[in-house]
Structure 1
Amino acid sequence: MEKNVGGYDRILRAVLGPVLIIVAAAMFAGLLVIATATLQATIAVVALLVGAVLTVTAITQQCPLNRALGINTYKGAMEPERGTDTPRPRA
């Protein structure tokens, strides 16, 4: 798989993912109570899963959903075009 996550997209995932994991852990530990026990457990599981996915996609710089939607925020290494000094993205 080619990398398709970069720039601000990667930064946002790298920050938001661990935050969601910490929120989920706090909910499981009972430190953060926002609803009934069943609803809270459901929200905690969803937050944990979403946080884990965001963290993994930030680390690997590969997102299957981005690929399916045709989104690519990864700029990659720059190489100069032939005959010019202007860098262009690698294909």
Structure 2
Amino acid sequence: MNSNVGGIDKILRILVGIVLIVLALTGTIGLWGWIGVLPLATGLFNFCPAYKLLGVNTCKVK
């Protein structure tokens, strides 16, 4: 599994994931907030399966 998420993309994924999860925990946006687990996980693992399928790579380190 090669890294394909890097830089600002990684930071934004982690922040959006955390915000969505917090909003779900507080009941602000309901169960849909748990979708924030996906961007959080892809940001933490530096790998996005959708990027792999589309041939996108934002990680500068090979």
Q: TM-score, normalised by structure 1?
A: 0.63
- Size of the alignment, in residue pairs? 62
Q: Which one of the candidate residues 25, 28, 31 is aligned to 1:45? A: 31
Greater share of helix: 2
The one-letter code of the counterpart of 2:33 is: A
**Structure 1: gaps (5+ residues):** 33-42, 77-89
Return the alpha-carbon distance in structure 2 between the equivalents of residues 11 and 75 of structure 1.
15
Q: TM-score, normalised by structure 2?
A: 0.89
- Percent identity between matched residues is 39
Higher RCO (CA 8 Å, separation ≥ 6 residues): 2
Greater share of strand: 1
Q: Runs in 1 of length 4+ with deviation above 4 angstroms?
A: none
**Structure 2: gaps (5+ residues):** none
